[in-house]
Chains A and B, each alone.
Chain A
Amino acid sequence: MRPRTPPRPFVTAIVVGLALLLTTRPAAAKVFDPDVFTLKNGLTVVVVENHRAPIVSHMVWYKVGAADEPAGKTGLAHLLEHLMFKGTSAVPAGRFSRIVAERGGIDNAMTSRDFTAYYQRIAAEHLPLVIKLEADRMAHLKLAEADFQSESEVVREERRQRVENEPGAMLSERLSMALWMNHPYARPIGGFDSEIRGLTRADALAFHKRWYAPENAILLVAGDVTPAWVRELAESTFERIPRGQTPKRLRPPVEAPAADIRIAFSAPTVRQAKWYRTTLAPSCGTADGKTVAAFEVLAEILGGGATSRLYRAMVLDDKLAVGVSASHNGMALGPGNFSVAATPMPGHTPEELSAAVEKAIAAIARDGVGADELARVTSRLLAERVFARDDLFAAPQALAQALAVGCSIATIENFGDDVAALSVDDIRAAARTLTGPTAQGILTPAEDAP
């Protein structure tokens, strides 16, 4: 997930994991209760009404990301995201964001492995304008060579800032390559610098023509609107764009590591050791809802906060680590992955962290978890839906994100029921899949670090 401008606090909430998607489950009362319809040209429209404030969140999600780039052209999806602000016949380069700002709105965009998304947050009265702007650049992107060149430099600076200046990010990049091997998820979302430099204006326009079509997009409008109004606006703008010929997206199967792989990364700037462990896991694109839910719950039980098993064992009891976390990335068209990260206490080694985590995973794989543990985490996830419904901007995005990675809204709405239906054995079965070979990353401080 790479936003076009440096992330402000509100931008960071944009990737919503499956745990949050539980909030979309219509239990006693519906949560988002979205209206979903499809235009004649295949554009999917999702509307979430929320009349708390006279504002609207307007987003267009394209089902294309870094994993869809041609070989040797990493960074193309992300560069195109930047170039979408460089003009059409109707809106000259540099005007898009200013038109939005002059009406009190903010805008940005982001690229991930499986999607590219654009948004504006603005007073609801300006929805007709921003819908028109997005429809215009879906169909009519125009790029001057000079704008292409300067924006290529901008994304290279972005890579320097977010990756090359940050040893942890450099390690993550290498660790992904080790885990995903020849799968497209191995590619860094922002691209390799050498490949960014080789991209051309023609590459960007061809990628736009290939993927930016109505049948490959989702329009999400959340806020002070009615579905009828959004439909009317979408019909008079997006629906005029002819259907394209978007190719089917391919996510090949991935080779699981044959044995443990360890990547040690050291740079003169590293001052603090850190350890990462990642394994392949199911996603909504590769498995049913209940299977995915088990991994979400397992991540919470293992590493969700100060009451989790790993925190209690490694931080509170054994004093091996100052911090530990676990997460499951299950929002993907291709396979997902399950990650654990820990920061050692001075005097302890990454190997000790690794051993402690293996022990904790093995214990669940052998003995399962307590019914009380499962109930506690289920209750937490159910409470989160109430908190999520409160946020007009972040939460409804989960609906569009799910569609953009090839999962359905129905799958998401059933997710809560899937969590509630999990048994201790389901968690044990999930843990068993994590005991195989792993990819591990170790950030090592320089010898002379203070």
Chain B
Amino acid sequence: MIRRWLLPILLCLLVAPAARAAQPTQVMVSPGGITAWLVEDHANPMISVSLVFRGGAAADPANRTGLSTLVSGMLDEGAGEIDSRAFQDRLDALNVSLGFSAARDSFSGGMETLSANRNAAFDLLRLALTQPRFDAEPLERMRAAFLTRLRQRQESPSARAADALFASLFPDHPYGRPTQGTPESLRAISAADLHDFARRRFTRDRLIVGIVGDIAATELARLLDTTFGGLPATSDLPPVPPTAPHLTGATTVTTMPVPQAVALFAQSGPGRADPDWLAFQVMMYVLGDGGFSSRLTAEIREKRGLAYGVDAESTPLAAAPLVIGSVGTQTAKIGESLRLIRSEWEKMRRFGPTDTEVAKAKSFLSGSLPLRLNSSPAIARTLTALPYNGLPPDELDNRAAVLAAITPERVRAVAARWLTPEALTVTVVGDAAGMTLTTLTKP
């Protein structure tokens, strides 16, 4: 569940440099003033579009949580003169795939089309963004679908742990509210709320566009204007206020009768623009973000067989950057897993990674950059993730050199500065009666 909302912000780190693709990245501005990043690739007759609007679920009104999520399900349910059924028929007839998703800080969309159908496809995208209908029938249908999804989230210990974690970290901030909403808030949302959302969120000053595929820049310039030119220039939506997470170091337990307890743990981390960001990523790779190379996996999974999955990684929310980790362990031993995690956290703060660990982490972070060049949609998402994070088109080409210059001393200093094992705040979902958590709060 967590990975879902991380995706739009983390891709910048994970994705390969677009400039290393067969064609270079073109940063273009249409005659009407729409900016887009384009990688032309005529090898295959298709086009991938990635869109990001700044502003996500955290900007939903307090009594309308889930609004962004509901809108994400409603944009292909009719627009302009085309009602829901006809809209779906048209997408199907054109073989266009169109989808949207909401995260805490952003609202994203993606479209894939055969290049032969590009004009019709971009026209459906234009209608979806500028003239959504939000008719009663699809609204009630989608409302029922998202209410169902809420019930299904209650069946998942990891989803419940995530909701509990955010609620405890941000008791007085929009980040604490569930992005999927609550049964009450979803029931309260009206078509007027949806129209208000479209008007205030889909604005040109919030829009980021990335395109990959079989289209020339001149042709795209025209399509950018016809597709996005009709959006309002600016929005009056207030920004999400900065906040500090409520990091108490406490462990809270939600009881649920499952054989494996799921724990999430969090502390503050650097934001994407922080000068410590990359050195911190190197450190986190060693600690918990390096898969089978991480210390958490070595200690908890490989040596002791206490978990199938254990990890921790940066979650750079705009208003409160975090580090979040997770582990799943049979009920009776979840306390042991958490004790080991705190102990590794403390060890890393005190001594940092070794020179060899730093070298290997840097080697992975540099060497893995091209791996996300595997498909057009993946490259298109990179083309929006970079500007979303305020990074230049050649950022990833230069990343290896920047990583190479990071010294082990720097990484150890970053570990000492940022890691706070005593503030690591934990939510556990599982069979509370079977847990032995008494020693949890201290390393």
Binding site for B on A (CB under 8 A): 5-6, 8-9, 51-55, 57, 85, 94, 97-98, 101-106, 121-123, 149-158, 160-162, 164-168, 267-272, 305-307, 312, 315-316, 319, 322-323, 343, 345-346, 376, 379-380, 383-384, 386-387, 389-394
Q: Per a CB cutoff under 8 Å, which of B22, B97, B328, B367 touches A52?
A: B22
- A241 CB to closest chain B CB, in angstroms? 25
Work out how many contacts link A and B, with CB atoms closer than 8 A.
189
Cβ-defined contact, A104 with B364, below 8 A: yes
Which B residues lie within 8 Å of A157 (CB)?
260, 305-308, 328-330
Interchain CB contact under 8 A, B374 and A387:
no
B90's nearest neighbour on chain A, judged by CB, is A307
What's the Cα separation between A68 and B298 when bound, in Å?
Answer: 31
Q: Which of A104, A123, A158 contacts B308 (CB 8 A)?
A: A158
Chain B residues 274-323 with CB under 8 Å of chain A are 290-293, 298, 301-309
Q: Which residue of B lies closest to A124 (CB)?
A: B370
Q: Which residues of A contact B236 (CB under 8 A)?
A: none
> Contact at B374–A55, with CB atoms within 8 Å?
yes
In the complex, what distance in Å separates the CA atom of A325 from the CA atom of B73?
Answer: 17
Residue of A nearest to B145 (CB): A322
CB distance B260 to A160 under 8 Å? Answer: yes
B293 adjacent to A97 (CB under 8 Å) = yes
A22→B163 CA distance, assembly (Å): 41
- Which B residues are CB-close (under 8 A) to A121? 371, 374
B368-A104 in contact (CB<8A): yes
User: How far apart are the CA atoms of A378 and B298 in the complex, in Å?
Assistant: 49
Interface-forming stretch among B152-160, B242-250, B435-443? B152-160
Which of B46, B141, B157, B367 gathers most chain A CB within 10 Å? B367
> Cβ of B148 and Cβ of A389 under 8 Å apart?
no
Q: Which residues of B contact A54 (CB under 8 A)?
A: 20, 370
> Known contacts A269-B258, A383-B95, A390-B44: does B154 contact A52 (CB below 8 Å)?
no
Closest 6 pairs between A and B when the two form their complex, measured CB to CB? A104-B367, A153-B305, A53-B373, A383-B95, A97-B292, A160-B260
Which residue in chain A gives the minimum CB-CB distance to B213?
A: A390
Known: A322-B145, A383-B95. A316 touches B85 (CB 8 A): yes
Chain A interface main SS type: mixed
Complex-state Cα separation, A110 to B367, whole angstroms: 24
| B92 adjacent to chain A (CB < 8 Å) | yes
CB pair B259–A5 under 8 Å, yes or no, is: no
> Does B16 belong to the interface (CB within 8 Å)?
yes
Q: Is B95 a contact of A379 with CB atoms below 8 Å?
A: yes
| Chain B interface residue count, Cβ-Cβ cutoff 8 angstroms | 70
Check A53 against B370 for contact (C-beta < 8 Å): yes
Per a CB cutoff under 8 Å, which of B44, B93, B157, B377 touches A386?
B44
In the complex, chain A residues whose CB is within 8 Å of the CB of B371: 55, 104-106, 121-122
List B residues 91-112 near A (Cβ within 8 Å).
92-93, 95, 97, 112
Q: Mark B111-134, 1 if CB is under 8 A from A, else 0.
A: 010100000000000000000000
Q: Does B62 contact A (CB under 8 A)?
A: no
How far apart are the CA atoms of A118 and B158 in the complex, in Å?
27
Q: A271-B152, A271-B154 are known contacts. Are A387 and B291 too (CB-CB below 8 A)?
A: no
- What A residues does B88 contact at CB under 8 A? 305-307
Verify B330–A272 contact, CB threshold 8 A. Answer: no
Specify which chain B residues have a CB less than 8 angstroms from the CB of A122 in the assembled complex: 367, 371
- Interface pair A150/B374, CB less than 8 Å apart: no
Q: Is B226 an interface residue (CB 8 A)?
A: no
CB pairs A–B below 8 angstroms (14 shown): A52-B41, A103-B363, A104-B363, A105-B371, A106-B371, A154-B305, A160-B259, A160-B260, A270-B155, A271-B151, A271-B152, A345-B144, A379-B95, A392-B375
B308 touches A154 (CB 8 A): yes
A165 and B259 CA atoms in complex are apart in Å by: 6
Nearest residue, chain B, Cβ from A107: B292
Bound-state CA distance A165–B430 (Å) is 10
Q: Collect the chain B residues with CB atoms within 8 Å of residue A306's CB.
A: 88, 92
* CB of B416 closer than 8 Å to a CB of A: no
**Nearest Cβ distance between residue B338 and chain A, in whole angstroms?**
15
**Chain B contacts for A154, CB-based, 8 A:** 301, 305, 307-308
Closest B-chain residue to A386, C-beta based? B46
Q: Does B171 contact A (CB under 8 A)?
A: no
CB distance from A449 to the nearest CB of B (A): 8
Cα(A121)–Cα(B46), bound, Å: 24
* Chain B stretch 136-191: residues in CB contact (< 8 A) with chain A: 137, 141, 144-145, 148, 151-152, 154-157
A123 touches B370 (CB 8 A): yes
A162 to B157, CA, bound (A): 11
B195 in the interface (beta carbon within 8 A): no
**What are the residues of chain B within 8 A of A379 when measuring CB–CB?**
93, 95
Chain B residues, Cβ within 8 Å of A103: 363, 367
Q: Is the CB of B21 within 8 A of A104?
A: no
Question: Which residue on chain B has the smallest CB distance to residue A8?
Answer: B3
Contact of B328 among A160, A323, A384 (CB under 8 A): A160
Contacts of B301 in A (CB 8 A): 154
Residue from A101, A150, A161, A267 in contact with B292 in the complex, judged by beta carbons closer than 8 Å: A101
Chain A residue nearest to B92 (CB atoms) is: A307
Q: Are A390 and B93 in contact (CB-based, < 8 A)?
A: no
Do residues B145 and A97 form an inter-chain contact, with CB atoms below 8 A?
no
